Structure 1
Amino acid sequence: MKRKRLLATLMAGLFALNLAACSGPLGGSAGGGDKDEDFPSKQVTIIMPWSLGGGPDTIARQVAAYGEKYLGVPVIVENKTGGAGTIAMNTVLQAADDGYSMVVANGPLFSLTPSFQNVSYSLDDITPLIGMRITEFVVLTNAKSGITTIDQLKEYAASGKTIKYATTGGPGNDSYTMISVLFKLLDIPAEAIPYDGGQDAINALVGEHVDVAIGSPPVYRDYVASGELNCLGTFIPEGIDVEGIGHIPSFKEQGIDVEFTGMDYFAVRSSVDDSKKAVLTKFIQDVYADPDFQKFMSEMGMEAWGATEDEILTMIEDQTTAMKEYIPLIQ
């Protein structure tokens, strides 16, 4: 009997200890049980506003390939195209603010798009984590056209032809706006043909479906290097040097008063916990520092743009000021 009482007492004591452990500071239901310590514990998604094969998409997919190595979980890219990037923005803002959804954003989503359509978001809704790239837009022609300069383009237009030009998206998109502004300043009759992504626009030019296109180095470089396309100029005010091509002069250098420096960056909802933002930012910084990733970017003729949140926000403010001058030209 004494043995049974002793056993019962021991069992009761063990039960009490287990209960205390579960409810005390070391347990999971009170005090220090923070699931965020395990972040991330599942797949992370990068929401991409633009189509497959474009510059941002290509870079984002390369970053995602390092998910297991530097984040410990898979990272995928999910394309949500349309609406000059607004569909992707709405998608990330409707997703849980748990840090498992990032978005690739750009300045015009805030400095330009709201001037052309109603949007359900503001800059306060997101937090930029780190820059991705500086967008160096170049205007191109098909080599078969024989047009290699702006003056030759003007001569071509003077023959009475309306130039068809390929853009990424429509009003509210930076590539559409800048090339449209260029044609307005040159007083050239032109018709915009919107495409879902930069690669689609370049494919249309290579296939001679349009006369002119606008693109960034990752999508046009090989075509220019092979002699299929010609560069007429860039909106970057000091011009750009592209490996395998050489110097591309700016329109400013050619006497045309237009300039634009775009950028893409990684962001999350502003309500995501700061500790999770730090983890995601560190992941991308680690990728940028990886020699293989640096080689990949070099082969594309680009460098990763590791800008901070404050640097990105300042650039968006500067873009917003510049767009106030350009938007009335095409509205």
Structure 2
Amino acid sequence: MENKVVPATTKYPDKPITLIVPFGVGGGIDLVARTVEKSASTHLGQPLVVVNKPGGTGTIGWNEVAGAPPDGYTLAMTGIEIILQPLYGPTKYHYPSALDPIAQITELSLIMAVQSDQPWNSLEDLINYAKKHPGEVKFGHPGIGGINHVLGETFAKAANIQLEQVPFQSGAEAMSNLLGGHIQVVFLNPAAVKEQLKSGKVKALALGGEKRLTDPVFANIPTFREQGLDVVCNSWNGIAAPKGLPDDVKKKLSQGIKKVIDDPEFQKNMENLGLQITYLGPEESEEKWLTDSQKLTKTVQETGIAEKIKEQKK
């Protein structure tokens, strides 16, 4: 089908813009999208409508966006999984080249948490338990091959223990299964853990970042490295569009999204979620995609995780 030429008189945007979240409601990436949605109409001139399309650890939603017309009316929330997914085998689209980054909004240090009534108060406690009870400890995450899953497998390998992985459609679903006692551990982004940590229902054992978080709720969580394991797994969330946006549309969109991110109200809402804003524009985001791709290719190959995940996906 031929791409129709949009007449120059059309003012972008002149109708609501769809923002597809490729994970379920209530997870970290969904909470970021809904925070963007709140401030969007003021700065974009049209409302942003969040639509959840979970499944395939992001691929269902990203396939839809990659195949949508590049007119600026269909956008995607992105996570580091757009880079990870093609490393495990062919995907319908090669997301890093089928999508165009508009902005990175936040960088995330993932948190490893357990139910408060578990006897483990440190990584060492959990590792010792897992060594005595191989395969008994199950960890939950929002999808096979996602960064949360990669962190879980990287930790298990570094600690030389056997953990069973259990995939869910969102961080919220993984958390409710942790609270229900169906799994023993979760690897989730800070926004998906914050309320349960504050209420004392869960306790955090480790942080996947290079350094500790500044938010008071998370400030006491030690990194894996502080506890003697060389494990670092960070994620990020951003917004992307189908490849091939007209220059003027891309410019207007990236300027509008930047205004949303600069909005004090937006920044306050993100802080309430426990997330730190790390804005990158389209060019810097593209560079980040490249460097992360090189790093993660190395990680998943060297650790044997790529092979393991291919098996688990079957």
TM-score by length of 2: 0.89
- The residue that corresponds to 1:274 in the other structure is 247
SS state of the match for residue 124, structure 2?
A: helix
1:6-38 deviations in whole A, cap 9, x for unaligned?
Answer: xxxxxxxxxxxxxxxxxxxxxxxxxxx6134x1
- Where in structure 1 are there 5+ consecutive unaligned residues? 1-32
Q: What percent identity do the matched residue pairs reach?
A: 26
CA shift for structure 1 position 244: 2.6
Asked if 2 retains the 8 angstrom alpha-carbon contact of 1:164 and 1:191, the reply is yes
SS state of the match for residue 247, structure 1?
A: coil
Q: Closer, same or farther in 2 for the Cα pair 1:159/1:263, shift >3 Å?
A: same
Which residue of 183, 188, 211 corresponds with 1:238?
211
Task: Tell me, yes or no, if structure 1 residue 146 matches structure 2 residue 119.
Answer: yes
SS state of the match for residue 66, structure 1?
A: helix
- Where in structure 2 are there 5+ consecutive unaligned residues? 1-6, 308-314
1:8-27 correspondence runs (5 A): none
Asked if 2 retains the 8 angstrom alpha-carbon contact of 1:240 and 1:250, the reply is no
Task: Tell me, yes or no, if structure 1 residue 66 matches structure 2 residue 39.
Answer: yes
Which residue of 88, 97, 111 corresponds with 1:116?
88
1:246-294 deviations in whole A, cap 9, x for unaligned?
Answer: 2322111211112122111111112111111111112211212222212
Q: Closer, same or farther in 2 for the Cα pair 1:198/1:269, shift >3 Å?
A: same
Task: Tell me, yes or no, if structure 1 residue 55 matches structure 2 residue 28.
Answer: yes
Task: Tell me, yes or no, if structure 1 residue 253 matches structure 2 residue 199.
Answer: no
Asked if 2 retains the 8 angstrom alpha-carbon contact of 1:141 and 1:229, the reply is yes
Q: Where does structure 1 differ by over 4 angstroms across 4 or more consecutive aligned residues? A: none
Task: Tell me, yes or no, if structure 1 residue 225 matches structure 2 residue 192.
Answer: no
1:201-250 deviations in whole A, cap 9, x for unaligned?
Answer: 11111221111001111111121122211111111112323333423221
Measured in 1, the distance between the counterparts of 2:64 and 2:221 equals 37
Q: CA RMSD in A?
A: 1.6
1:60-99 correspondence runs (5 A): 60-99=33-72
Measured in 1, the distance between the counterparts of 2:234 and 2:256 equals 26
Q: Rg larger in 1 or in 2?
A: 1
CA shift for structure 1 position 129: 0.7
- The residue that corresponds to 1:107 in the other structure is 80
Q: Which sits farther off after the overlay, 317-326 or 144-153?
A: 317-326
Asked if 1 retains the 8 angstrom alpha-carbon contact of 2:131 and 2:162, the reply is no
**Paired residue type of 2:75:** M
The alignment covers a number of residue pairs equal to 296
CA shift for structure 1 position 90: 1.0
CA shift for structure 1 position 159: 2.9
TM-score by length of 1: 0.85
- The residue that corresponds to 2:166 in the other structure is 193
Measured in 2, the distance between the counterparts of 1:159 and 1:120 equals 42
Measured in 2, the distance between the counterparts of 1:84 and 1:302 equals 21
SS state of the match for residue 279, structure 2?
A: coil
Measured in 1, the distance between the counterparts of 2:59 and 2:9 equals 32
